[in-house]
Amino acid sequence: MTQLLRIIVAALFLLLASPSFADDFVPMFNGKDLEGWVNVNTAPSTWRFDGPEFNRILICDGKPTGVLRTEKRYRNFVLELDYMHLVPKGNAGIFIWSDPLTAQGQPFTRSIEVQVLDGLNTASYTSHGDIFPIHGAVMTPDRPHPNGGMRCLPSERRANPAGEWNHYRITAIDGTIKLEVNGVEVSGGSNCSPREGYICLESEGGTVWWKNVRIKELPDDGTDLPADQRAAMPEGFRSMYNGVDFTGWKITPDLAKHWKCLDWRLDFDGVHGDLWSEESFGDFELIVDWRWNGPSQGRMQRPLIEPDGSYTVDENGRQMTVEIEERDSGIYLRGNSKSQVNIWEWPAGSGEVYGYRTDGSMPAETRAGATPKKNADRPVGEWNRFRIRMVGETLNVHLNGEHVLVDCPLPGVPETGPIGLQAHGSGIQFANLYVRRLNPDGTPVAD
């Protein structure tokens, strides 16, 4: 930060502290519904309004873990709000400059978090005003953390306990953030990245009441920020899983014995049948995180596969194999088991479309296209992210940021059908299932 910029930021903070600047805030909720906000990955029941007219309280029941974000992006602003925990040791938070979707393998977004926690104070975190970056964000804390991290611990304890209201005032200007708790500045940070994005309220287990949530936007210098300092743009994705039940999925009593809602994760023990969406999709893009969470099916010999989709053979023409810990699942597209994006421990890596790669009647282009360009899987137990795009008969698959299937043609694939999570004998968890419909030209369908 240049000396001139430091002077400008300091002057702005002094101006914001003056009584004459206390007006011109606008409410962020209308007191009736969530107009202006996006329920990213929680249930409709997670957030509701209650209380006297003109002073309605937003109630978060804490279930599931996840976020509610603004529709609008913000860069420089002052945010004021009141919160009250209903349950001792309850947890929540406010995310500043957030991405629109949750981070890979997480129920929360990349952002700067302002802690809203009750009665849990340790040497490394407190309940009364911590600020810290999460899931890829960065920040320089105003005071060094005892463990050397990027978390700023508050200078004094100001928060009231569960059952009493607290007032937060958050000032965010050009990557610098300051927090006042019940009228006194206690924590802050600088050099934040991102420094433009969405504002989120966090649901994390405890019942929290919010009221008087209001914001004053502040001017900036008009320059475009570098990409690494801006939150991602929204792309029209919506969640397919609400974190509390199987709304939107075809569930039966038998399936419910094996597929479980574990808060923000869908947990499957590997036994019984597939789980299908109620909706059908034609052209669409799907984001889904997954990780292995159960024992393998044992050590098995599995083939080596060439880039053209054929099996690797030795000098005698015999198929070559390697021994692996067998795990198997997948994502069915358009209601069709043949158009399955595989999840497995095979050497070729996840993303393969086995039904097309092994079909000798398919063109060479299809068999090669259905073979992953590389093994991009993370180790067992770690979260992976698929980004699957289906337009017409063309499939593209990204795995952990790697483009493993590139413009793979799937001749004869159904035009439409549901999305399925495959049961194939292995324990697996799914999370962060987001979908958006596409037009035939691949552009997102307008809301």
The DSSP 8-state label assigned to residue 227 in this structure reads: G
Q: How far apart are CA 429 and CA 427, in angstroms?
A: 7
As a whole number of Å, the end-to-end CA separation of the chain is 41
442 found inside a domain: no
CB 217 within 8 A of CB 94: no
Same domain, yes or no: 194 and 270: no
Residue 439: CB atoms within 10 Å: 12
**For the chain, how long is the longest CA-to-CA vector?**
87
pLDDT tens string 170-221: 999 999 999 999 999 999 999 999 999 999 999 999 999 999 999 999 999 8
Reading the block at residue 393, the tokens are: 């008969």
Same domain, yes or no: 183 and 37: yes
Same domain, yes or no: 63 and 185: yes
pLDDT tens string 218-248: 999 889 999 999 999 999 999 999 999 999 9
Q: Is pLDDT above 50 for 63? A: yes
- Rg, Å, the chain Cα set: 25
Predicted pLDDT of residue 52? 77
Residue 364: CB atoms within 10 Å: 10
Predicted pLDDT of residue 357? 97
Same domain, yes or no: 75 and 95: yes
Q: How far apart are CA 289 and CA 295, in angstroms?
A: 19
| Torsion angles phi and psi, residue 164, rounded to 5 | -125, 150
Same domain, yes or no: 323 and 413: yes
pTM: 0.92
Same domain, yes or no: 120 and 197: yes
Q: What is the 3-state secondary structure (H, E, C) of 85-144?
A: ECCCCCEEEEEEEECCCCCCCCCCCCEEEEEEECCCCCCCCCCCCCEEEECCCEEEECCC
pLDDT tens string 314-323: 999 999 999 9
Reading the block at residue 100, the tokens are: 């629109």
Same domain, yes or no: 182 and 251: no
pLDDT tens string 3-26: 544 544 454 455 544 444 457 999
Please report, for the domain that includes residue 148, its CATH number.
Answer: 2.60.120.560
Q: Is the dihedral of CA 314, 316, 322, 328 positive or negative?
A: positive
Same domain, yes or no: 207 and 302: no
Counts of helices then strands in the chain (DSSP H, E): 4, 30
Q: How far apart are CA 239 and CA 272, in angstroms?
A: 25
415 found inside a domain: yes
Q: Is pLDDT above 90 for 29? A: yes
Same domain, yes or no: 293 and 179: no
pLDDT, mean of residues 350-364? 97
The count of domains in the chain is 2
| Boundaries of domain holding 283 | 239-437
Of 200, 232, 264, the last residue of a domain is 232
357 found inside a domain: yes
Strand partners, 249: 277
Measured in residues, the chain has a length of 447
446 found inside a domain: no
